[in-house]
Structure 1
Amino acid sequence: MHRTFETTTERRRRTLDGQWEFLADPENEGYDADYGESFPTEVADRISVPSSWNAHTEYADYVGPAWYRRTFETGEESLLFTFHGVAHDATVYLDGEEVASHEGSYTPFTALARHLDAGEHELVVRADNTRGEATLPHDDADWFPHGGIHREVVAETVPDVYVRDLAVEYDLYGDEATVEAEVTLHNVGPRPAEPDLTVSVGDASVTDSVAVEGMDAATATLGLDVEDVDRWSPDDPTLYDVEARLHGEQADEREGDAFADDLRDRIGFRTVSTAGREILINGEPVDIAGVNRHEDHPEWGSAQPLRVQERDLDLIRRAGCNAVRCSHYPNHPRFLDLCDEEGVLVIEEIPMWQVDESTMTSSQERAQRALVEMIERDRHHPSIFAWSLSNECANDHPTVVDGTRQLKWAADGVDDSRLVTAASNTDFEGATDEVFDFCDFLSVNAYWGWYRDGDWDEFLDGIAAEYGEKPIVVTEFGAGAVPGERTHEGRKWSESYQADLLADCVDLFRERDDVAGFAVWQFCDTLTDPEAAMTRPRTHNNKGIVDEHRRPKEAYRVLRDRLADD
């Protein structure tokens, strides 16, 4: 299951998890050979879905295109296929015909197969994890380029008129919420229809009829009030079920037969704001104490099952942390569900990583698409209090500043209920960050004591003086430590050096009134980009407070001891 709860009760759903036929295509011959229509099953391997193909020994270092194939049985029905994550470029073929394509590893895309004939059908997927100067992330990104169908593939039976999208917004007035639900219906039949649409939030509901023409879509906005609201907060993470449900008559030759459809999600009622140097949840200041988390695991790669996600969050919580920065891309929605349930705050980010003026133009359209897809997927998660537009880009250059400002406008246009930020190391590199002018809080990345010597106090004094009275969150800091490496002298790459540096930084950040919080780089050791492997011990980014198998380093215990009383 791709969420921790059921997203529909009416649709017959099947996951297409399991063994698929698989063929790496290093020479990129599949297009010319028409693999989408005539897949070469006689030479294919078999591989599990979902998974990162790089988590399989024989494909551990493979970067390039590869092809997947499986068959499935169905009755005479319309199927909605949702691919929740394919890395990085994807093209989907159904019975030899291209039905969908998508760029980006971390957001879902769909394909609708209308009125399939009963019997066996073939699904073929081409995936390519190649990075380049124009991809997002680009080819210098410092995390491993896991490839493949690494998140779930779900097929749902839908009627001719079904709920395609549900977007909920609300305003809070004391303990009452005024809710607006925007629901998009899709009619894949030839005749017009006017089903009844019911939107419910908790025990409150409203019903209206919605007209939608044949082979068309229609969007309706329904409003309702929710009384005696229990607000979501880190200490009391109350969640409300939200449902859009259709009842009507079939819109084709089967007219007279009743149909039903529904789409479900969850929300939490809360407000997010800033005041001076503080970040506020429901008007109350909150101190951010978090970690950065990559989706990486030695056995699972980027395709982490629920138990690994639960274990990660449990370890984060046991360290005393109340926040996660999803670095540097949208994490699995099921992990965000867990954060909703546990009251863990989240900063979510798009993979616009270290873009400079020469690549900003080619990255802009991709970044905006990734941002909108991320927000549309995750806008109902109350744990997410901020969208991050980028990480360590050339924020002193006008081209990058203008492009990032457009991203800010796009984020506000889709969802203006959260804070917007951008993680920056511009000041650490000796320049002035122009993007901070339109950020709600300042996300600062710096590695004093690791990459270079310097004074954290002096550095933060400069940040506070330069950019006005905004909250400062140190979104990256830390040191590398090879697991098990211990020295009496506390030399670099030892666990003791990492633990001492982390202790000093956390103590300093918590003493400063102008620092609203921090996120340690990083939660666990992760595979690094293959091109950078020669400069990283064990071919890993070793700055985790736990190793890749989640075994604690000294730094984990230091962090836990300092946050134990919070």
Structure 2
Amino acid sequence: MTDLDPHAYVEDRSPGTGRLRPRAAFATDLPTIALDGDWRFRLASGLDDLTADFAAPEFDDSAWELLAVPSCWQMTGLPGEPRHGAPAYTNILYPFPVDPPRVPRENPTGEYRREFDVPDGFPASAAVLRFEGVDSAFVVWLNGIRLGDGKGSRLTSEFDVSAALRPGRNVLAVRVHQWSSGSYLEDQDMWWLSGIFRSVSVAARGVEDFFVHAAYDHTTGQGTLSVDVAAPTRVSLSVPELGISAADPAGPHVIDGIEPWSDEQPRLYAGELLSEAGERIPLRIGFRTVAVVDGVLTANGRPVSLRGVNRHEWHPLTGRTLTEDTMLTDVLLMKQHNINAVRTSHYPPDRRFLDLCDEHGLWVFCEGDLETHGFEPGGWRRNPSDDPAWREAYLDRAERLVERDKNHPSVIVWSLGNEAGTGANLAASAAWIRRRDDSRLIHYEGDWASCAYVDLYSRMYIGVAELAAVGRGQEAPTADPADDAHRRALPAVLCEYGHAMGTGPGGLSEYQQVIEAHPRLAGGFIWEWIDHGIARLTGQEEPHSFYAYGGDFGEEVHDGNFVADGLLFPDRTPSPGLVEYKKVVEPVRIRVDPATRRIDVHNLHHSRDSGYLDFRWTVEDGGDPVGSGGLTVPVTPAGATTTVAWPADLTAALDAARKNDSGHEVWLTVTAVLAADETWAGAGHEIAWSQGQVVAPPASPAPFALVPAIVHDGFIALGPARFDARSGALTRLGDLELDGPRLDVWRAPIDNDLLSAFGEPQADAWFAAGLHRMRHDVLGVEPDASGLTVTARLAAAGSSCGLDVVYRWTVCETPHADQARLRLDTVVTPDGPWSVPLPRLGVAMSLPGTDADVEWFGPGPGEAYRDSRAAARVGRHRSTVSAMQVTQIRPQENGNRHHVRRAAVTTPGGTLLITGAPVIDLTVRPWSTEALAAAAHQHDLVRDGRLHLHLDHAHHGLGSAACGPGPSAPDVLAAVTTAFTVEFGTSR
């Protein structure tokens, strides 16, 4: 800053002036004045619109509005119209011209004022003003005295206020700029939001800082504790559980019989630092040691397998401002879904989140507040990562990351940042961290081609084949032989994979199988935890609520719904993807073997034995429970497998089911549940499960009656069915009005169809082939003495390729004439050179109604697709059409039930019975595929008075191509000659 330009700090590369050196975040019994609450606020349009003398204590701000601190100013007014600018979303591009370090002169600037009282006796002569998070750059005055300025939005800034703070009335003034030079370092694939979005306080300062070193030796069971303390007076350490009382913190203290900290058993020892001045600082000490051993990531001497997620901080009403309750909800949901690790993408989180990770047990990759992805479209030209002028800013962000969070046992890896290219500034940051803290590993994916200054070989969105090669140490060599040797000695981690955008992700089971097969693979982190939808109202006379995404606020450049790619919906409801992930990463693998009547239990935990689990079994005959009981499984150590024979009561239940000979499938389900309450879930919470089919249904088909098709005036009768004489469409079955079925190959494209990180999106080829506008032309309707044959062709205008289809209708004989079943055999034959897979292959039909009860036997209860079905268990399930819809932020194909054996759809007009021969995929919706594909948001979907049924032979896989690979080869739905069968009936 200069006298000529008092706002030079906005664009200079300096991380700030006047700030105190960074230190750990910790609790203390010294007094604190919380400044959260309503502040006076004015939003200026830019530097030419600032308020003169607004920092003066006597300035009259009574006309200014009140704004909550902490908050993001663009979120005020929501879910209605935002009052102060508007949120904007980009993934990569900067929302301003790339001209570092300059930013637009039209730079929205928030002017904040807060009056507060300092009580008598408050130690003002040794106090600091603390900002936990301010986006993007800010300058601060106390009682008219300029304290300094700062950048690094997700990092703590402290200022010495000893010369400005006074008893009684004080006035704090803060000017916050939406854009600054720091914005070039904060392009982190999220909504651009501004303001004082984390807490503010004035705190008395006694002990300056401390660093807890708590190592664990797994060979001896000993812990070694030392605490480096910076303080103006002598400080002592007490840890009563360890027999340490009023001791020298530096120690080192060597303690036998330590219980180490891990994600599974997050053992924390309560301690305290006590200064001679009387200050008490509580400690929560976790002993653990992180190391690379023979190319394997280990903690406490055992391999670590990360079942992780990338977590942005998000709430649909408050943006990046979160309450502790919201953070706790995240942690508990993670633990309840078998997640054991978090990467704090792409910045340090609110410090309270790490306290919760310590308490409940999550491995943490704590990431720096750094991403410069917006330079990639320009070939990384002028990228700050290799520009010496930005060196101080990079080192400052690394230092503030480490110093604030260094005392958390959950933090096992420091991550330099994300997608910032490569360069000397990153290497310098790694070197600084290694000098300051050699007890943790260093991560940065952007340098995967060499890994010269990191401790993990990190990749994102690679396919399973390449991942397996990495696991075998057979990845392509680096350019430098020394780097190559270094990289091959490193554990490998997927810092991002399984892109959870829209319906999906698919293929998670394949990834997990590869991860578990290779010790070098330390697991990975799904992208990402939560959809960043913003709660909105339509503003109509009868407003509808919905979640906004990129472009919904009129942004000049945006990336649409790419911001909605989480395992949680914005309201923190688990998506089908999270339910699938929980099953895929179960820490206990159960295998049911009906042939040998044995059950295998493989314990995949890091260090915890299976003694905390209860095992139970249930037998169902056609979905009806016929027996259940407990299963005694010997305590199985981590990494071991136990095999148990079926107990006598289970054997008896199965024998009874066989003797009953119901003609239905009999399934055995074994579950592992919590035997007692944990901090994150209650007793009975399910951890793992497995199924085995012990009785298969009869293979012989039902006999057919030779029922002739009879031609009437305008319709054809076949048993209980009526068909249109010209189109061959089924119009009635018994008393039920129907329309269809007819061949259908189109689905409302999912995000993984519409987007692609590698090559052209799959949907582009589908649109080019006209699959979204196929015409169903009936070529013949031929009744005969044993049924009805309808021939047709499905093709698009302008295309010489088509699908020839033959529908053969017959009647199945049953003991009751009024319950005769109608059988449809469909044969599809491609005509022409089909070079694209099909989105789906099946038949579609409809019946009157806006909702219905649905019961089915098969996998459930949630949606499942061919490459995302691990979480669906076979049984009898019940739902409604409404409840079967998955409310993705951007509507798309959803709600499929995979491999259904039989189903019943019950409306006021009757019940339609559907039977697969042997299975069918079932989707039921209150709107058409066309309406679903055309909708931009959920409120665009309006029930049309018909229930639309899709009975599919198969679907194209989901994959995660929006930012990753598409479906693997077995899950690609090729256009080949295919035959499938479905039967229909009715009941009342």
- Normalised TM-score (structure 2): 0.47
1:444 to 441, 459, 462: 459
Inter-partner Cα distance in structure 1 for 2:140 and 2:56: 11
Match of 2:109 among 56, 65, 75: 65
Q: CA 1:348/1:555 → structure 2, altered by over 3 Å: closer, same or farther?
A: same
Tell me what 1:311 maps to: 329
Deviation string 1:503-531 (CA, Å, 9 cap, x unpaired) is 44334333344321010001111267779
Q: Which ranges of 4 or more aligned residues in structure 1 deviate by more than 4 Å? A: 29-32, 170-173, 454-463, 527-535
| Alpha-carbon shift at residue 532 of structure 1 (Å) | 8.1
Cα deviation, 1:21-63, whole Å, max 9, x if unaligned, reads: 1111222247671322265514422111122223213136167
Unpaired segments of 5 or more residues in structure 2? 1-24, 78-82, 88-106, 478-486, 534-548, 589-988
- The yes-or-no answer on 1:18 pairing with 2:37 is yes
Question: Contact 1:67/1:127 (CA < 8 Å) preserved in 2?
Answer: yes
How far 1:207 moved relative to its partner?
Answer: 5.4
The equivalent of 2:129 in structure 1 is 81
Q: Does residue 510 in structure 1 map to residue 550 in structure 2?
A: no
> Which residue number in structure 2 is paired with residue 419 of structure 1?
441
AA aligned to 1:154 is S
2:430 to 408, 411, 436: 408
Partner of 2:501: 481
Partner of 2:532: 526
Partner SS for 2:55:
coil
- Equivalent residue letter for 2:170: H
How do 1:179-198 residues align onto structure 2 when only pairs under 5 Å count? 179-186=225-232, 195-198=233-236
Q: Say which SS state the counterpart of residue 403 (structure 1) adopts.
A: helix
Structure 2: distance between partners of 1:88 and 1:201 = 41
Matched, 1:549 2:587: no
Structure 2 partner of 1:371: 398
Q: Which residue of 2 aligns with 1:386?
A: 413
Is 1:282 aligned to 2:300, yes or no? yes
Q: Write out per-residue CA displacement over residues 160-187 of structure 1, whole angstroms, 9 at most, x where no aligned residue.
A: xx2121222245453444433222235x
Letter in structure 2 aligned against 1:374: L
Query: Distance between the aligned counterparts of 2:319 and 2:435, measured in 1?
Result: 34
Aligned twin of 2:632: none
Q: How does 1:553-564 map to 2 (within 5 A)?
A: 553-564=575-586
The TM-score normalised by the length of structure 1 is 0.80
**Cα separation, partners in 2 of 1:59 and 1:201, compared to 1, 3 Å:** farther
CA distance 1:223–1:357, shift in 2 (3 Å): farther
Structure 2 counterpart of 1:204: 244
Classify the secondary structure of the residue corresponding to 1:222: coil
- What do the CA deviations read for 1:229-250 (whole angstroms, capped 9, x no partner)? 32111222111334332225xx
What is the alpha-carbon distance in structure 2 between the residues aligned to residue 416 and residue 390 of structure 1? 18
Q: 1:455 to 1:517 in 2, by over 3 A?
A: closer
AA of the residue aligned to 2:496: E
User: Following the alignment from structure 1 to structure 2, what is the Cα–Cα distance between the partners of residues 337 and 532?
Assistant: 37
User: How big is the shift at 1:329?
Assistant: 0.4
| Percent identity for Structure 1 against Structure 2 | 26
In 2: Cα distance, 1:565 partner to 1:459 partner: 23
In 2, distance between residues paired with 1:21 and 1:534?
32
Q: Which residue number corresponds to residue 53 of structure 2?
A: 34
Say if 1:206 and 1:223, in contact at 8 Å, map to a contact too. Answer: no
Q: What CA distance in whole angstroms lies between the structure 2 residues aligned with 1:167 and 1:136?
A: 31
Q: Which residue of 2 aligns with 1:253?
A: none
2:459 and 2:495 in contact (8 A); partners too:
yes
Equivalent pair of 1:81/1:155 in contact (CA under 8 Å): yes
Q: 1:14 to 1:70 in 2, by over 3 A?
A: same
Within 2, Cα distance between the matches of 1:459 and 1:171?
Answer: 31
Q: Sort the Cα spacing of 1:53 and 1:96 in 2 relative to 1 into closer, same or farther, 3 A.
A: same
Partners of 1:533 and 1:142 lie apart in 2 by 16
- Matching of residues 121-132 of structure 1 within 5 Å: 121-132=170-181
1:506 and 1:178 map into 2 onto residues whose CA distance is: 35
Distance 1:147 1:241, change over 3 A: farther
Q: 2:288 touches 2:299 (CA, 8 Å); kept in 1? A: yes
Deviation at 1:390, TM superposition (A): 2.9
Measure, in 2, the Cα distance between the counterparts of 1:313 and 1:556: 14
Does residue 1:50 correspond to 2:99, yes or no? no
Residues in 2 aligned to 1:135 and 1:271: alpha-carbon distance in whole angstroms: 36
Counterpart position of 2:265: 236
- What residue identity is the alignment partner of 1:245? L
Q: Which residue of 1 aligns with 2:898?
A: none
SS, match of residue 445 in structure 2: strand
2:208 matches 1:164: yes
- SS of alignment partner, residue 439 of structure 2: coil
- With over 3 angstroms needed to count, the CA separation of the structure-2 counterparts of 1:234 and 1:422, relative to structure 1, is same
Q: Aligned partners of 1:126 and 1:327: how far apart in 2?
A: 27
Identify the structure with bigger relative contact order (alpha carbons < 8 Å, sequence gap 6+).
1
The aligned residue for residue 93 of structure 1 is 141
Q: Measure how far apart 1:543 and its partner are.
A: 1.9
Distance 1:457 1:196, change over 3 A: closer
Alignment pair present for 1:469 and 2:516? no
Equivalent in 212, 216, 223 of residue 251 of structure 2: 223
2:837 match: none
Q: How far apart, in 1, do the equivalents of 2:558 and 2:52 lie?
A: 39
Deviation at 1:533, TM superposition (A): 8.2
Distance of aligned partners of 1:60 and 1:340 in 2 relative to their CA distance in 1, 3 Å threshold: farther
In the other structure, the counterpart of 2:340 is: 322
SS of 2:66's partner is: strand
Question: Which runs of no fewer than 5 residues in structure 1 stay unpaired?
Answer: 187-194, 209-220, 249-259, 428-432, 483-494
Provide the secondary structure at the position in 2 that maps to 1:299: coil
Q: Is the 8 A contact 2:116 2:169 kept in 1?
A: yes
Aligned length: 494
Give the Cα separation in 2 of the matches to 1:145 and 1:368. 24
Q: Is the contact made by 1:290 and 1:520 (CA closer than 8 Å) also made in structure 2?
A: yes
- Give the Cα–Cα distance (whole angstroms) in 2 for the partners of residues 141 and 156 of structure 1: 31
In 2, Cα distance between equivalents of 1:263 and 1:136: 38
Show the counterpart of 2:931: none
Which residue is equivalent to 2:917? none
| Aligned twin of 1:190 | none
Asked if the contact 1:405/1:438 (under 8 Å) is kept, the reply is yes
Task: Please say which structure displays the higher CA radius of gyration.
Answer: 2
Does 1:536 pair with 2:555? no
Q: Deviations over 1:112-149 (max 9, x none)?
A: 332744321111112223155x64524x5422222111
Are the equivalent residues in 2 in contact too, given 1:464–1:514 (CA < 8 A)?
Answer: no
* Whole-angstrom CA distance in 1 between matches of 2:51 and 2:39: 22
Deviates more, 1:322-331 or 1:554-563: 554-563
Other structure's SS at 1:391 match: coil
CA distance in 1 between partners of 2:525 and 2:403 (Å): 25
What displacement does 1:481 show? 3.2
Q: 1:31 to 1:291 in 2, by over 3 A?
A: same
Measure, in 2, the Cα distance between the counterparts of 1:439 and 1:529: 34
User: Pairwise CA RMSD of aligned residues?
Assistant: 2.9
Quick check: 1:87–1:105 contact (8 Å CA) kept in 2?
yes
Q: Does 1:499 align with 2:505?
A: yes
